[in-house]
Structure 1
């Protein structure tokens, strides 16, 4: 402002004394110049004051708008936090209600109505599997079935987790689903997994949603298989017990209505004398060792079971003709001509064998009955031999 006044003073001097040396202005000219200088100074000061006021107003509005923006941001963030809290609360309530084991890994959350994924853990899972984040729920399930699920389970996996199946379950009032399949860890290793799915209508979005949790159940499956095997196996001999032998034969007959097969019923000759002379402990040892040798004479596809104290049943599937069965029965008899127990004594033990050959159309009771009749005839004929039952 001082510089501006100095400039105006210099200009006034020029007007008062003139541009040429020695030139003098009249009183009226001086008065006009003075008045002009006065108004110029006042206008300049007013402009500066207005400018300062404008700066103050702009600064004031800037502060106010910043405060308003910060306040609105805080409100929006709080609303989002409240919504997230409600979603988490809803998720926890649903899982706690319908799933006994609440897991927080391998989570997949989806809005079935909108066919879309949501949730940070879901995005982490899709990133892990190499699936684009913007994929729909249907596309994600299809990708998982191709990339992670073993081939023989993939089609069923897609069907069970399809939108149509989930909506059908929900409409029928079902709140949970459970599905077990085998997942591929890499090119060689696979594990059993259990997928627990909660189905619910969200109170927030009013849409049908799911929360699914995947659990590795490989250990439980192995333990279950071991228990089932123990339940199906005769402890003394390691062969199938009577119940499992019957079950496997019946399954074969149901699935192969036109197949040929042979049934052998074997009984240890004079076993009562062994028990009477040497005791039941020794008798059990004889049964166990004879069973071991008997099993070694058959293929892994044959069913070899212990059906009674000293009785065994062998089922040979897909036998083309009788000569194969005759050769196998002869091999059994020869194998026990010299049978050593305890690696010391040479006991005279042998089998009597009843055989029935069938070609579909029979049930287990019929096979058992025909083989038993043939066994009776083999014992009647002198033991240590085989006999075929003919219809």
Structure 2
């Protein structure tokens, strides 16, 4: 693909609504713009009428119906009493907070639990504000409704697992140890009903432990650094998580060691004492929970929040390396949904996600929302990044889904810099600008710009 030369588009002098309205194209009125914006939001938007005995709906955007799992026609039976789809406690909360908001004029927030069309539960966060632009004999609220079901389920699972781990900790085996520093002897004491309950001493521990790899190699540096520090000056109730064969001599398991050091009368440290607990199940569950919270359910890539956090963390590490922030959008994605259905559209998203992950295995790759993806990579050259994206565009143009080939075209905007002073917002805004230019110039191409 030929290299794309994109001229910079002039930015408006300000970004307020009055400036934006001045830029509307002929034939586009404010009503059309508002309707388009509402239908493309990634959250539900609702306008409610608070009647004495019920909450009546006046408007829902498309995302609201998708979120609650109803079509507009299916939801019609609840339109005059929206709270009938909620569990009792949640309905009472809405009435209580809305009533208070009518008196105070303050925006209210409410976490509500309801039922989807398929019978499954849904948790939503409602942010509602009293408005006066709708004629009605009853108070009218404009509400933003966000699906928080995954977060609630994660919190519930975490609470259950936390209680499970408390029980396990109270009933499971642990290993106590005593490290004699002058003689370099480590003694482990196993108890708790084990068949091999006994003391196990290792002479020349510093050398033997490294040679026999008692500590998992990737964790060895932090383990021996902690042991060295505790051996030089007194420490109290320190903790360290690492993988070791201390609990099970046949396999590495995650353990948590709580330790203190003891000094003699002269202040010289002579012993390190502690207790090592098996936390392997807990650690792996934590890792699973992190994945649940961070991963996009459709593509398996990092979700918007996780992508942002990972990139911001990398940017904060001042490395003086070239950094590349790419924003990618699937061209005419709506056509896939309209022609083949939303399930196929999801397959297109998954296919693009897989292709990006394969093409950029060492980069942060995430789904930013809808049909937009983010790629952040560093320590490479501009030409290499462009070549990789050109290869990606070529491969995606003949992607295979369900045994058939389809043409998936994408537009890419890249912002890059050699400076450590460029922050996330600068990268994002410039990449977004380059993506806009790629779309404007005909789609299925790459536009890029260096931030200086």
Does TM, scored on the shorter chain, surpass 0.5?
yes
1:270 pairs, out of 327, 332, 350, with 332
Residue 135 (structure 1) aligns with? none
Query: How big is the shift at 1:373?
Result: 0.4
Mark the CA change 1:121 to 1:286 in structure 2 (over 3 Å): closer, same or farther. Answer: closer
Answer yes or no: is 1:228 the counterpart of 2:290: yes
With normalisation by structure 2, the TM-score equals 0.50
Contact 2:173 2:277 in 1 (8 A): no
Q: How does 1:44-63 map to 2 (within 5 A)?
A: none
Q: 2: CA distance between counterparts of 1:224 and 1:270?
A: 39
Mark the CA change 1:334 to 1:120 in structure 2 (over 3 Å): closer, same or farther. Answer: closer
Answer yes or no: is 1:380 the counterpart of 2:452: no
SS in 2 for 1:101: helix
SS in 1 for 2:369: coil
Q: 1: CA distance between counterparts of 2:209 and 2:400?
A: 58
Q: 2: CA distance between counterparts of 1:323 and 1:120?
A: 56
Contact 2:413 2:436 in 1 (8 A): yes
Residue 427 (structure 2) aligns with? 367
Residue 257 (structure 2) aligns with? 195
Mark the CA change 1:127 to 1:145 in structure 2 (over 3 Å): closer, same or farther. Answer: farther
Instruction: Give the gaps of 5 or more residues in structure 1.
Output: 1-98, 133-139, 170-175, 201-208
Mark the CA change 1:199 to 1:122 in structure 2 (over 3 Å): closer, same or farther. Answer: farther
Of 275-284 and 232-241, the range deviating more from structure 2: 275-284
Residue 301 (structure 1) aligns with? 362
Contact 2:253 2:280 in 1 (8 A): yes
Bigger Rg, which one: 1
Residue 172 (structure 1) aligns with? none
Mark the CA change 1:116 to 1:312 in structure 2 (over 3 Å): closer, same or farther. Answer: closer
Of 349-358 and 332-341, the range deviating more from structure 2: 332-341
Q: 1: CA distance between counterparts of 2:364 and 2:277?
A: 35
Q: 2: CA distance between counterparts of 1:248 and 1:328?
A: 22
Higher helix proportion: 1
Contact 1:373 1:389 in 2 (8 A): no
Q: 1: CA distance between counterparts of 2:379 and 2:184?
A: 52
Residue 165 (structure 1) aligns with? 234
Higher strand proportion: 2
Instruction: Give the gaps of 5 or more residues in structure 2.
Output: 1-167, 263-270
Residue 221 (structure 2) aligns with? 152
SS in 2 for 1:223: helix
* Backbone CA RMSD of aligned residues: 4.1
Contact 2:414 2:446 in 1 (8 A): yes
With normalisation by structure 1, the TM-score equals 0.57
Q: 1: CA distance between counterparts of 2:222 and 2:201?
A: 18
Contact 2:234 2:261 in 1 (8 A): no
Query: How big is the shift at 1:162?
Result: 4.2
Residue 373 (structure 2) aligns with? 312
Of 258-267 and 183-192, the range deviating more from structure 2: 183-192
Answer yes or no: is 1:287 the counterpart of 2:384: no
Residues matched between the structures, number: 266
Residue 339 (structure 1) aligns with? 399
Contact 2:336 2:345 in 1 (8 A): yes
SS in 2 for 1:331: helix
